[in-house]
């Protein structure tokens, strides 16, 4: 039995988020780094949950009204692009937290936080657009 590609990708994203959290909460990371990594992991968790809702909505819409599903195609692709960016920031953050804390590490923490605020926060609104279908 083949695994569903969307479920597999979301599972990988969740695993990276958990790895980010595990690395960030280690005793070697300073409190500010732990807080920033925790905030990034929480935002990524919300984004993954929202993407799962969007995927379920598209699968449900494909049965009843294919036009609704097609109307959500572009927002769905944008959502996946934003989620991939969050995934990459989580990976960078995980690697940065294993290095000695310096200005470069602090910049990476700020970059991940900035991306979470400005990009990952868009994912739930795109889920609403996808769920609305062609009526919007």
**11: pLDDT confidence band, cut at 50, 70 and 90?**
low
Burial level of 53, CB count in 10 A (0-12/13-18/19+)?
middle
Render pLDDT for 30-59 as a digit per residue (tens, 0 to 9): 566 667 788 888 999 999 999 999 999 999
Parse the chain into domains and list their residue ranges: 5-135
Specify the pLDDT at position 5. 45
Q: How far apart are CA 124 and CA 22, in angstroms?
A: 25
Q: Is the pTM of this model over 0.85?
A: no
Q: Of 59, 58, 60, whose CA–CA distance to 75 is shortest? A: 58
Radius of gyration (C-alpha) of the chain in whole angstroms: 17
pLDDT at residue number 8: 47
Confidence of residue 136 (pLDDT cuts 50, 70, 90): low
pLDDT tens profile 66-124: 888 899 999 999 999 999 999 999 999 888 888 888 888 888 888 999 999 999 999 99
* CA proximity to 51, closest of 93, 19, 86, 20: 86
């Amino acid at each position: 039995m083949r695994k569903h590609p969307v479920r597999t990708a979301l599972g990988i994203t969740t695993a990276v988020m958990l790895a980010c959290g595990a690395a960030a909460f280690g005793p070697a990371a300073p409190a500010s780094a732990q807080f920033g990594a925790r905030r990034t992991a929480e935002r990524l968790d919300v984004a993954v949950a929202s993407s799962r809702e969007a995927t379920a909505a598209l699968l449900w819409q494909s049965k009843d009204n294919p036009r609704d599903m097609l109307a959500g195609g572009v927002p769905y692709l944008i959502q996946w692009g934003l989620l991939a960016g969050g995934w990459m920031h989580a990976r960078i953050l995980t690697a940065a937290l294993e290095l000695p804390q310096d200005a470069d590490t602090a910049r990476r923490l700020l970059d991940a936080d900035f991306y979470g605020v400005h990009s990952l926060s868009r994912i739930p609104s795109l889920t609403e657009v996808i769920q609305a279908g062609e009526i919007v």
